[in-house]
Structure 1
Amino acid sequence: MKTLLIIGYVWPEPKSSAAGSRMMELIHFFLAQQWKIIFASAAALSDHRADLACLGIQEKSIALNDSSFNDFIADLKPHAVLFDRFFTEEQFGWRVEQVCPTALRLLDTEDLHSLRHARHQLLKQSQKNIDSEVARQSVNPVLANAAELYETMANDDMAQREVAAIFRCDLSLMISTFEIELLINYFSVPPQLLHYCPFLTVRKAQALPDFNERQHFISIGNFRHEPNWDAVLYLKHAIWPLIRAQLPQAELHVYGSYPPPKATQLHNPKQGFHIKGWADDAFDVMKNARVCLAPLRFGAGIKGKLMDAMQCGTPSLTTAIGAEAMHDGTPWGGAIQNDLENLAVAAIKLYTDQSEWQKAQDCGLNNLENYFLNKDYAQELKDRFESLEENYELERQQNFIGSMLRHHSLKSTQYMSQWIEAKNK
């Protein structure tokens, strides 16, 4: 039986975030291929983490900047190591190569962090020198094109680090076609280093409630994820007042894990703005809502909340960033708008016009079928991984830049880590 070591940036929490659900999908994928899995993380154990033990997966707490990891992986001798986001590859990649040089190195990017960071910086620039909170939170989404994004990212430390990690790994799992095209066309990443792997588990809710059985607007997302928190502020200060002026009895229910005090303080029933916090079942609350609001002003990847909305037959209102890499130009299951007035108008129409609502639901279900269910992505991942196993020496030889980066940049990471370890002793 082959062994896979997953090094988690955090312990997977599928009920807290799309990233947690994504990690559990990959775990189930490798279990289906009869791999033995060990999940290791330097993060603190979470009360909300998935029960990996019930799946036969060993949990291992590891330490940063500590050579005990070398002893651990030397005993384990994994056939492959999956790094959860580029941060873990930076911390542990050189140790894996040093102790287990033949182990395949996989990177699950989740989303392209440097792209999200660049868009966030552009949003902050557009908000600069605006004193009023309402005016600052009324700034519209970032709409920079690929060339403009590259210009912002090219000299950015995070982009350099993340792209270097992609080059150093044998294969990076990508969830967004836009990000693949950006990496290939602007960062010169060889296509064979990237594998498109969107959500592997897509389901359609059964017995969908109809228009009249649903009520309220819904917004949902982990409050610790900056694009989600920013969208809540955009709703609170700019969009929701416009909706509420036309629909004085409407309510917006804002769900999300880890709500901080600054979020709960926004709770205002008189304004119809309800901070609900944790959802016991995100699918259930989405299925019973009439319209999903996801006005993301920056971000990356594909959005779990919008996938849930399509699966639940819930029309969604989002921006070009929210819908990025989630459709191929076919009609969206709701509306895509990029300024607050049009966002509000579209939200009101979806909420009040049953025929528009039904049309949007049909478009969402069609998009789900045609864009996400038209291929067996699990089988494609299985085929690509088997090819990599058979030809990894040749593929590594062809990736000279990756080899060069492992030789140079990981040396600095290694020496810094060893210096920290010696200092701590």
Structure 2
Amino acid sequence: MQNKQKLLIIGFVWPEPNSSAAGGRMLQLISLFQQQGFAITFASPAQESEFMFDLNLIDVTKVAVHLNCSSFDFFVKELNPTVVVFDRFMIEEQFGWRVAENCPEALRILDTEDLHCLRLARQKAFKEKRVFQISDLLQEEVAKREIASILRCDLSLMISEYEMELLIEIVAISTELLCYLPLLLTENEVPVLSDLPFFENRKDFVFIGNFYHEPNWNAVQYLKETIWTRIKQQIPEAVLHVYGAYPSQKVMQLHDLKQGFLIQGRAENAKEVVKNARVVLAPLRFGAGIKGKLIESMQCGTPSVTTSIGAESMQGNLPWNGFVEDNPECFAEKAVRLYGDKKLWIESQENGVTIINKRYLMNLFEDDFAEKIKFLMLNKKQHRLQNFMGELLQYHTLKSTKYMSKWIEEKNK
């Protein structure tokens, strides 16, 4: 690493690209920084899993670190990274002050994944059976923590234009602190529709999503209790395959062979599953960010029916690759139409490819992103002077987080 600029990524978890969109997103970020010539170290306090990606395959150094432990200080000081990326605001809370104290010249970047406070505020409103209001977001304790983390960093990566607008218009975050960088695909990942299974060669519906993620579990419950019976009444032979990593016992209990509602657990190859299905169902009732499962359905040439939450910030002004419906009866009706109408299905499939080509190709973003990083590295001092609130939070938060962490470390001894 001696002749290269160094990037340290501190991961909330070790990347699992086959388990969640977040894992794939992390590998995309690694690729973008490697294109800029960075030597990369990936550190995480998380436990390893059998499904984690082997970072050695892409020439990334892997290091286990500990929470509330001064051993990190020695590690980061010795590494002396040029840039540090925090994977979600919780990681910045834990390690941001240590990086600022030991490597004050390192550019600090937060990868938000999605706005956690928006997802949690929507989830709370949903469970309380009321319509989500923007004021709900501002009342969330997590919002204060997450926005403070955004302010403390030199740059925050946003995957959703809607979430960027919220931060700029409602919270008055400077545009200089935000960078729109959605989930990205290379040109090799754009589908050639003639290479994929045709309408006649596909069958069944599919839902896919990591069950650690509460919006996915809720969507599966909603399918079972409200939507699936409506579809089954109109297509008696219909089968829904529900795939997802980390299904709990309560998820497995929804398995119903007679109703064609099949809980399949983790998919060995998610893309194979999706590209052989005829329609993806994703009735998400709360959540945030953009949805990896729906980009994956476009990649696989598989039209989808989702909700306004599912499609939020994903298509711009382009037509969806299927339907967006919030009413359960309309959702089921559109799913049945899409399943049986070949012409509509092909048109929807083509819409998905257009969305990918115009909104998610890596080459649409990689040059601007590289320029942004170079500019910030060269103009870091002025950039930080202009972010006075961030410097103020860095000063005070560093003190409180630092001494809480040191207290925990002493207590653990």
Deviation, structure 1 residue 373 = 3.7
Letter of the 2:148 counterpart: A
Query: In 1, distance between residues paired with 2:69 and 2:54?
Result: 27
Q: Give the 5 Å matches for 1:165-180.
A: 165-180=149-164
Letter of the 1:381 counterpart: F
Query: In 2, distance between residues paired with 1:6 and 1:373?
Result: 23
Letter of the 1:403 counterpart: E
Query: In 2, distance between residues paired with 1:102 and 1:402?
Result: 15
Q: Which moved more, 1:373-382 or 1:86-95?
A: 373-382
Q: Give the 5 Å matches for 1:341-356.
A: 341-356=329-344
Query: In 2, distance between residues paired with 1:80 and 1:367?
Result: 32
Pick from 61, 65, 72: which aligns with 2:64? Answer: 61
Question: Which residue is equivalent to 1:302?
Answer: 290
Question: Which residue is equivalent to 1:101?
Answer: 104
Question: Which residue is equivalent to 2:279?
Answer: 291
| 1:76 maps onto 2:79 in alignment | yes
| 1:27 maps onto 2:30 in alignment | yes
Q: Give the 5 Å matches for 1:130-279.
A: 144=132, 148-149=133-134, 151-202=135-186, 203-206=189-192, 207-279=195-267
Query: In 1, distance between residues paired with 2:332 and 2:217?
Result: 19
CA contact (8 A) 2:283 2:307 kept: yes
Question: Which residue is equivalent to 1:116?
Answer: 119
Question: Which residue is equivalent to 1:359?
Answer: 347
Question: Which residue is equivalent to 2:380?
Answer: 392
Letter of the 2:17 counterpart: P
Q: Could you state the TM-score of these two structures normalised by the residue count of structure 2?
A: 0.96
Q: 1:248 to 1:296 in 2, by over 3 A?
A: same
Deviation, structure 1 residue 371 = 2.7
Deviation, structure 1 residue 415 = 1.2
CA contact (8 A) 1:94 1:410 kept: yes
CA contact (8 A) 1:293 1:318 kept: yes
Question: Which residue is equivalent to 1:136?
Answer: none
CA contact (8 A) 2:287 2:309 kept: yes
Question: Which residue is equivalent to 1:383?
Answer: 371
Deviation, structure 1 residue 178 = 0.3
Deviation, structure 1 residue 374 = 9.3
State the SS of the aligned residue for 2:380. Answer: helix
| 1:88 maps onto 2:72 in alignment | no
State the SS of the aligned residue for 2:315. Answer: coil
Letter of the 1:157 counterpart: E
CA contact (8 A) 2:16 2:24 kept: yes
State the SS of the aligned residue for 2:258. Answer: helix
Question: Which residue is equivalent to 2:305?
Answer: 317
Letter of the 2:150 counterpart: I
CA contact (8 A) 2:243 2:266 kept: yes
Deviation, structure 1 residue 365 = 1.8
Question: Which residue is equivalent to 1:12?
Answer: 15
Question: Which residue is equivalent to 1:138?
Answer: none
State the SS of the aligned residue for 1:20. Answer: helix
CA contact (8 A) 1:5 1:39 kept: yes
Q: 1:56 to 1:375 in 2, by over 3 A?
A: closer
Cα offsets for 1:196-225 (capped at 9, x unmatched): 001222422340211111100010010111
State the SS of the aligned residue for 2:280. Answer: strand
Query: In 1, distance between residues paired with 2:111 and 2:362?
Result: 23
Letter of the 1:388 counterpart: L
Query: In 1, distance between residues paired with 2:184 and 2:362?
Result: 12
State the SS of the aligned residue for 2:379. Answer: helix
Deviation, structure 1 residue 378 = 1.4
Query: In 2, distance between residues paired with 1:363 and 1:94?
Result: 45
Deviation, structure 1 residue 185 = 0.2
Letter of the 1:73 counterpart: V
Any gaps of 5 or more consecutive residues in structure 2?
A: none
Query: In 2, distance between residues paired with 1:100 and 1:269?
Result: 57
CA contact (8 A) 2:204 2:240 kept: yes
State the SS of the aligned residue for 2:403. Answer: helix
Deviation, structure 1 residue 375 = 5.9
Q: Could you state the TM-score of these two structures normalised by the residue count of structure 1?
A: 0.93
State the SS of the aligned residue for 2:242. Answer: strand
CA contact (8 A) 2:202 2:278 kept: yes
Deviation, structure 1 residue 260 = 1.2
Deviation, structure 1 residue 155 = 2.1
Cα offsets for 1:210-263 (capped at 9, x unmatched): 111110001001011111111101101110011111111100001111111111
Identical aligned pairs, as a percentage? 50
Work out the number of aligned pairs and report it.
Answer: 406
Deviation, structure 1 residue 37 = 0.9
State the SS of the aligned residue for 1:258. Answer: coil
Query: In 1, distance between residues paired with 2:368 and 2:271?
Result: 27
Query: In 1, distance between residues paired with 2:387 and 2:290?
Result: 28
CA contact (8 A) 2:184 2:361 kept: no
Question: Which residue is equivalent to 1:48?
Answer: 51
Letter of the 2:164 counterpart: I
Deviation, structure 1 residue 364 = 1.8
Query: In 2, distance between residues paired with 1:309 and 1:57?
Result: 29
State the SS of the aligned residue for 1:154. Answer: helix
Cα-Cα RMSD: 1.3
Query: In 2, distance between residues paired with 1:55 and 1:374?
Result: 18
CA contact (8 A) 1:200 1:378 kept: no
